[in-house]
């Protein structure tokens, strides 16, 4: 395996890279321990919208990963920062499967179906799941028709579970955009703001940082467009056909996150 010299930092996706259904993939805990022992600054960057940063940290630590809450950056936490900066004081109708309100501090939230006529400024769309009923999607559509802005935490099409792939927000968001004739502002990966914030969190520069992910477009090629070294792993949502049809070529491809220390020469 070719070794690379990355002296800056590592950005690491969680779901499909370190875990599937929050169960560690083979060798990932040991690999994370090696990176920690080598002193490599790192952050776990995830579009997961079903758990707060604190719950994610507790789950990973319970599985043996040497990780704390400060090591984790989520789409909801970055969405909160975006809303506070660009839409201060806005009433935000939240459509999301999972309770992440703790990570949306400083944002005025209402459930998407509760907003009265004309009193919703922003529709915030998180991760798909049972909350994405017809009634909820239609309520979001009506808010958008009345002039609300549309913020999406991500556009992921699907994610891998122990039982196979499940549909995610990207399967529903284009319909809302087309029906309401609006374009969503995306705050999670692959948005530039997500990577900029992650680099600032670590005090790192793009040219000395790598991004490890299982989604070739959202994780790897998006990071490469911003000057970050992209590392694709063949776990999680990885599929050979999506690799072949991708819009670009990853800098590196590994069978698993467990192979990352060897790539870094550690």
* Cα 42 to Cα 12, 26, 122, 138, 235, distances in angstroms: 7, 20, 33, 40, 20
pTM greater than 0.85 (yes/no): no
pLDDT of residue 1: 45
* Residues 151, 79: Cα–Cα separation, whole Å: 8
pLDDT of residue 95: 95
Tokens of 111: 């459930």
Residues of the chain with pLDDT below 70 are: 1-7, 114-118, 266
Task: 61-67: list long-range contacts, CB under 8 Å, 24+ apart.
Answer: 63/19, 63/22, 63/23, 63/24, 63/29, 64/24, 64/29, 65/18, 65/24, 65/28, 65/29, 65/32, 66/32, 66/33, 66/36, 67/32
pLDDT of residue 259: 97
* Residues 88, 84: Cα–Cα separation, whole Å: 5
Tokens of 4: 């690379």
pLDDT of residue 211: 97
Residue 164: exposed, middle, or buried by beta-carbon count in 10 A (0-12, 13-18, 19+)? exposed
pLDDT of residue 69: 95
- Look at the alpha carbons of 243, 128, 83, 203 in this order and tell me if their dihedral is positive or negative: negative
Distance of CA 263 to the CA centre of its chain: 24
What is the rounded (10 degree) CA torsion for 14, 17, 22, 28?
Answer: -110
pLDDT of residue 63: 96
Q: Degrees (nearest 5) of the Cα angle 81, 111, 95?
A: 65
Mean pLDDT (the chain, rounded): 91
* Residues 94, 16: Cα–Cα separation, whole Å: 26
* Cα 141 to Cα 53, 146, 148, distances in angstroms: 29, 9, 9
| DSSP annotation of 208 | G
57-93 confidence digits (pLDDT tens): 999 999 999 999 999 999 999 999 899 999 999 999 9
State in Å, rounded, how far the first CA of the chain is from the last one: 12
pLDDT of residue 114: 66
């Amino acid at each position: 395996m070719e070794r690379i010299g990355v002296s800056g930092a590592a950005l690491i996706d969680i779901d499909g890279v370190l875990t599937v259904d929050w169960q560690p993939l083979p060798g990932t805990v040991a690999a994370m321990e090696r990176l920690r022992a080598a002193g490599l600054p790192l952050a776990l960057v995830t579009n997961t919208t079903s758990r707060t940063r604190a719950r994610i940290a507790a789950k990973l630590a319970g599985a043996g990963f040497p990780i704390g809450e400060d090591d984790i950056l989520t789409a909801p936490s970055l969405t909160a920062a975006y809303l506070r900066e660009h839409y201060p004081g806005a009433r935000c109708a939240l459509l999301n499967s999972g309770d992440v309100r703790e990570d949306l501090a400083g944002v005025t939230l209402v459930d998407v179906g509760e907003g009265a006529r004309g009193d919703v400024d922003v529709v915030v769309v998180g991760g798909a799941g049972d909350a994405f009923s017809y009634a909820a999607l239609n309520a979001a559509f009506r808010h958008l028709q009345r002039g609300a802005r549309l913020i999406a935490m991500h556009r992921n099409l699907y994610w891998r579970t122990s039982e196979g792939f499940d549909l995610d927000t990207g399967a529903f968001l284009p319909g809302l955009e087309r029906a309401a004739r609006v374009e969503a502002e995306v705050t999670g990966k692959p948005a530039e703001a997500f990577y900029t914030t992650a680099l600032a969190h670590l005090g790192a520069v793009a040219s000395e940082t790598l991004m490890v992910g299982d989604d070739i477009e959202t994780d790897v090629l998006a990071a490469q467009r911003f000057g970050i070294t992209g590392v694709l792993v063949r776990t999680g949502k990885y599929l050979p056909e999506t690799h072949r049809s991708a819009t670009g070529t990853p800098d590196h491809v590994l069978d698993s996150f467990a192979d990352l220390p060897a790539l870094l020469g550690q």
